[in-house]
Amino acid sequence: MLNLLLVSRYELSFTSSYFWVVLMTFVVVVVLTYLYYRRTNPMLDKSKRIILGILRGIGLAAIFLALAEPLLVINRAETKQPVVALMVDKLRLDD
């Protein structure tokens, strides 16, 4: 189990070679979502439009993050007491 107190560094990187294409597509989709929910037919009140826009944005963000192939690296630093292993061979000298 990972002890969060011992984690020294988190690093999030994206391994996809098309990350910039995915990022630009995500920005375009967010803008289009805003334009779509600006006016709806039938008319919804403002709170419902905001909730629907946020839910769609979360769903699209999850899809685009999966396409960008994220990689999370966690470095852990742990200090332990040194241990010395000692082996003793008992010799029989009464032969």
The string of pLDDT tens digits covering residues 33-73 is: 788 777 766 777 888 888 888 888 888 888 877 877 788 78
Query: Which residues have a Cβ under 8 Å from the Cβ of 35 and sit 6 or more positions away?
Result: none
Backbone phi, then psi, for 92, in 5-degree steps? -100, 115
Cis peptide before 42 (omega within 30 of 0): yes
The rounded distance, in Å, linking the Cα atoms of 90 and 69 is 58
Confidence of residue 4 (pLDDT cuts 50, 70, 90): low
DSSP string for 69-91 = -EEEEEEE---------------
pLDDT beyond 80 at 83 = yes
Q: Where are the domains of the chain?
A: 9-76
Q: How many CB atoms within 10 Å of residue 44? A: 14
Q: At 75, which amino acid appears? A: N
pLDDT beyond 60 at 1 = no
Instruction: Please give the pLDDT value at position 81.
Output: 87
Instruction: Please give the pLDDT value at position 32.
Output: 82
